[in-house]
Structure 1
Amino acid sequence: MAQPAFEDIVADFEFFDDWEDRYRYVIEKGQAMPPLDDALKVPATKVDGCASQVWLHPEPDGSTFHFRGDSDAMIVRGLIAVLRALYDGLPMGEVARVDAGAEFARLGLNDHLSAQRSNGLRAMIGRIREVAAKA
């Protein structure tokens, strides 16, 4: 059920032999995202439960889910890019059906993130689901 952009990330991960290369790839994905305008980095878009500063700004387009995000931590910014590949462009009703844990397990990220990063990732996924449910 993953988006084609996420499937591309899964395929790219298969080419890397070690986790250092995979982390670098995730960081590069984050660096390639346009930054979130400072005016959108407000308490309403801030994600609680993350060790880093994280902002997710929903931009629903009719019945389609879109969002942008940013973080002050490079790896977290990369995780936001991966989440965008997983969720951005889905119909609103499909967002809740995505098993993000299973999709991230396909990348092996569940086993290679610190406890704090894992908690932050869960908080971001929770915010995405919450926003889509309200839209």
Structure 2
Amino acid sequence: MSLPEQAREALAAFTACPGWEQRARLLLQWGERLEALADSECSEANRVQGCESQVWLVGDKRETTWHFRAASDARLIRGLLAVLLARIAGLDGEELARLDLAEWFAQLGLGRQLSPSRSNGLNAVLLKMRQMVEAG
């Protein structure tokens, strides 16, 4: 599976960081890139269950691919969401179903810093994306 352009950009940026502190700063910067959700989109219906922080996910189908937007009340989570969204940009349903989230974060050098609760939350986001795609 080839990487979307945004994912290649993220991979280059994060692997160039010599340590966790630099990656954490970069994550915060990436979090600022998230497309804003309208207040009405930050609703209970769009909230991702299984996240310790508040996370909202909105998706719409554009021809053969889906476009997702996400928001969180936690700055670090916004950064993690941004690199997740970069990784899945332009993927079809089959590619999304095969995505290995742990491998992606390991490639970025973020795998060891993901606490179990953050990892579970991000997996919950990916699961909700897959459910949205399946529901069409």
Bin for the TM-score computed over the shorter chain: over 0.9
Query: Aligned partner of 2:111: which letter?
Result: N
Shift in Å, 1:58: 0.7
Rounded to whole Å, the distance in 1 between the matches of 2:27 and 2:129 is 19
Q: Hey, what does 2:114 align to over in structure 1?
A: 113
TM-score normalized by structure 2? 0.92
> Is 1:49 the counterpart of 2:44 in the alignment?
no
Aligned residues: 135
- Whichever structure has more strand as a proportion of its residues is 2
Q: SS state of the match for residue 47, structure 1?
A: coil
Q: Hey, what does 2:95 align to over in structure 1?
A: 94
After superposition, residues 6-45 of structure 1 pair within 5 angstroms as 6-45=7-46
Q: SS state of the match for residue 96, structure 1?
A: helix
Whether the 8 Å contact between 2:67 and 2:89 is mirrored in structure 1 is: yes
Moved over 6 A (4+): none
Query: Aligned partner of 1:65: which letter?
Result: W
Shift in Å, 1:65: 1.1
Whether the 8 Å contact between 1:65 and 1:132 is mirrored in structure 2 is: yes
Listed one character per residue, the Cα deviations across residues 19-58 of structure 1 (whole Å, up to 9, x for unaligned) are 0110111111111223211111112210011110000101
Q: Hey, what does 1:71 align to over in structure 2?
A: 72
Q: Hey, what does 2:4 align to over in structure 1?
A: 3
Q: Hey, what does 2:105 align to over in structure 1?
A: 104
Which deviates more, 85-94 or 48-57?
85-94
Rounded to whole Å, the distance in 1 between the matches of 2:95 and 2:17 is 30
TM-score normalized by structure 1? 0.92
Unaligned stretches of 5+ residues in structure 2 = none
Unaligned stretches of 5+ residues in structure 1 = none
Whether the 8 Å contact between 1:96 and 1:133 is mirrored in structure 2 is: no
Shift in Å, 1:111: 0.9
Query: Aligned partner of 2:21: which letter?
Result: E
Which deviates more, 97-106 or 9-18?
97-106
Rounded to whole Å, the distance in 2 between the matches of 1:133 and 1:70 is 22
Q: Hey, what does 2:125 align to over in structure 1?
A: 124
